[in-house]
Amino acid sequence: MEQLKDVSVFVEAVDAGGFSAASKRLNLTRSAVAKTIGRMEERLGVRLFHRTTRSQNLTEEGRFFYERCQRAVEEIRLGEAELESGRREVRGKLKVSMPVIFGRQCVAPVLIRLLEDHPGLELDLSFSDRVVDLRANGFDLAVRNGRLKDDAETMARRIAFQHLMVCASPAHLERYGEPQNLEELPKFEGIVYGKQAGQEAWIFPAPDDPWRMVLPRSRLRLDDLEAILNAGLEGQGLVRLPCWMVRDHIASGRLKQVLKSVPSISFETHAVWPRSPVMLPKVRLAIDTLAREIPRFTE
């Protein structure tokens, strides 16, 4: 049993990219992780890591041993999952990555409600707009917006569509008017999302092409959707945002939708998880719940 514990520490040290990162995941001291690896090396009679003051890299023998240990640990996890799937109670920690604003307003409230019905479940929610490596960072699940890149290491399920809407404050529209069609849009002031080059243009479905790109006149570029919403509420220009962000403000009269006759672009939201022959019950519960509940926010 002690050797099995050592193997799990070794695999975690490789997956985490070093002893310090592994110690945080395992709730151990860095010294304890290093001693475990040293004990394994002494027992095996080989050096598993090249050590420097800043990093630990696998030796050739270490890579060989890691491949075997990883498969063994995965088999144990799958066996536990198969046994657990026969139980009604979902247990364990579920670590989920999600976009900041969408996660805070839509995803997190849905997942947090699971705690009421599943006392054995723990949630570790991380809010970030960057695409994280699920295995390397120990995530069970991620929620991602937009088109997914091909990745043989992950699996995905579409859980919702998000629709974009153009709107502005009534005060802004009263002062500057509103566009009646896409041909007029470049004459009006818009607040654009400028996180990356080329994203300033607004995309709309087109009859003869996959989409049509229109660039409104703009003196204000922001790389945060919430900041764009606030600027729109303050009357700084037209905004183009997901419906779930502006719906309440339209209902209250603080914003007004424009270009209603123009079809809006939509994009997909997916749940993504590390590829595995068996899905853990806690992951299945989260995905099924998100697929059922998230469309209520986005449609």
Residue 248 has pLDDT above 90, yes or no: yes
User: Residue 180 — pLDDT band, cuts 50, 70, 90?
Assistant: very high
Give mean pLDDT, residues 294-298.
88
**3-state secondary structure at position 121:** strand
Rounded CA separation 250/272 (Å): 32
pLDDT given for residue 91 in this prediction: 82
Residues 42-52 pLDDT 10s = 989 999 998 88
Give mean pLDDT, residues 44-71.
85
Rounded CA separation 291/158 (Å): 7
For the ranges 63-77, 151-165, 220-234, 269-283, the lowest mean pLDDT is seen at: 63-77
Token code pair at residue 80: 């536990």
Domains, the chain, ordered by start: 2-84 (1.10.10.10), 92-153+271-298 (3.40.190.10), 162-266 (3.40.190.10)
pLDDT given for residue 82 in this prediction: 62
Token code pair at residue 176: 């500057």
Q: Is 54 exposed, middle or buried (0-12, 13-18, 19+ CB in 10 A)?
A: exposed
Residues 252-264 pLDDT 10s = 999 999 999 888 8
Percent of the chain, pLDDT > 70?
93
pLDDT given for residue 18 in this prediction: 85
pLDDT given for residue 209 in this prediction: 67
Q: What is the model's pTM?
A: 0.69
Strand partners, 127: 98
Other CB atoms within 10 Å distance of the CB of residue 290: 24
pLDDT given for residue 56 in this prediction: 80
208 or 199: which leads in pLDDT? 208
Residues 80-124 pLDDT 10s = 766 666 665 788 899 999 999 999 999 999 999 999 999 989 999
The closest alpha carbon to 142, from 163, 151, 155, belongs to 155
